[in-house]
Copies of this chain bind each other. A is one copy, B any other.
């Protein structure tokens, strides 16, 4: 593969090369890349703003993450934050700090991934910053979305008796990560051994190419449902439930046998000799939507495609508990979610 040094283009040449393939899609984008700031217009909508910092060695490992997937994922996890407010992502800025290890071709791959994500979600690239880094790759993404007045959903609106719902299934991205980490050590030990991913493609895809659940937000809108609280599951279900309950001043009960898990996740947990429900509760990066609905919407909630009711909100004094399958024991929820600042 050709390798062109970034120094041959310089900062502005590089930015031009990386951004020229992006097409403007939204009328709210008045002016994108190329000035001191992007210019947007949101006369009738709320403006949602989210930002994420992704650092090599902390948030991703380029030994097994293809750089194009990294670009895709970096964009999509920001879109997920906008959907989690019941909004629609519209504009994105991408800043990168890169060491000399990276070539122009690497950056083109990264931006190709960003572009696919932007095309899938109808988002415009409107700015960013490119600079040298003394160490690894450093990615900062900000995303602007639009929210409809009165329909923006916060974490703090859950009420006792509300149903707790979650989209898709949980724990698969975490299992994908375990799998990649295991095969990484296989690689390190003996280059002749090919990594064994057969039958586990879904887990890898969940880790490497997560989906932001635009479809769920659209389904809710089509059925006229506005959740009382919502967030995306990035640090694990347990941790996110605690966020919603703490910010809403409530407790909750979730039922182990209601927590959606894919069979590949279950097979993998068995193979790794891990507790499946722990993986589903505490494994991060699922990017599913967790939301609460008033009890009277129960029948409507059951018609939602790829959504499961997993429990309900309680008064705060009842605490936050998981009810186990079979014997119905209560275990307190713990935020064992991924936290890069822990020791």
If A31-B154, A134-B135, A138-B97 touch, does A42 touch B47 (CB 8 Å cutoff)? yes
Q: Which of chain B's residues have a CB closer than 8 A to the CB of A302?
A: none
Most-contacted residue by chain B among A44, A87, A144 (CB, 10 A): A144
Kindly report which residue of chain B lies nearest to residue A40, judged by CB atoms: B47
Cross-chain contact A342 with B95 (CB below 8 angstroms): no
Q: Chain B's nearest CB lies how many Å from the CB of A329?
A: 28
Q: Which residues of A contact B (CB under 8 A)?
A: 6-7, 9-11, 14, 30-31, 34-44, 46-53, 55-59, 81-82, 84-85, 87, 91, 93, 95-97, 126-136, 138, 140, 142-145, 147, 152, 154-156, 231-232, 247, 339-343
Listed by A's residue number, 22 A-B pairs whose Cβ atoms lie within 8 Å are A7-B341, A7-B342, A10-B339, A11-B339, A11-B340, A11-B341, A35-B156, A35-B231, A36-B155, A37-B81, A37-B85, A37-B87, A37-B143, A38-B49, A39-B47, A39-B48, A42-B47, A43-B43, A51-B127, A51-B128, A58-B97, A97-B138
Copies of this chain, tallied across the complex: 2
Q: Chain B's nearest CB lies how many Å from the CB of A290?
A: 11
Most-contacted residue by chain B among A85, A134, A156, A341 (CB, 10 A): A341
Cross-chain contact A97 with B131 (CB below 8 angstroms): no
Q: Which of chain B's residues have a CB closer than 8 A to the CB of A156?
A: 35
Cross-chain contact A81 with B36 (CB below 8 angstroms): yes
Cross-chain contact A6 with B50 (CB below 8 angstroms): no
Kindly report which residue of chain B lies nearest to residue A143, judged by CB atoms: B37
Q: Which of chain B's residues have a CB closer than 8 A to the CB of A232?
A: 36
Other than the given A47-B144, A58-B132, A58-B133, 15 more pairs (CB < 8 A) read A36-B85, A37-B81, A37-B82, A39-B49, A40-B48, A41-B46, A47-B47, A49-B144, A52-B129, A53-B95, A53-B140, A55-B97, A55-B132, A56-B134, A135-B135
Cross-chain contact B47 with A132 (CB below 8 angstroms): no
Q: Chain B's nearest CB lies how many Å from the CB of A88?
A: 12
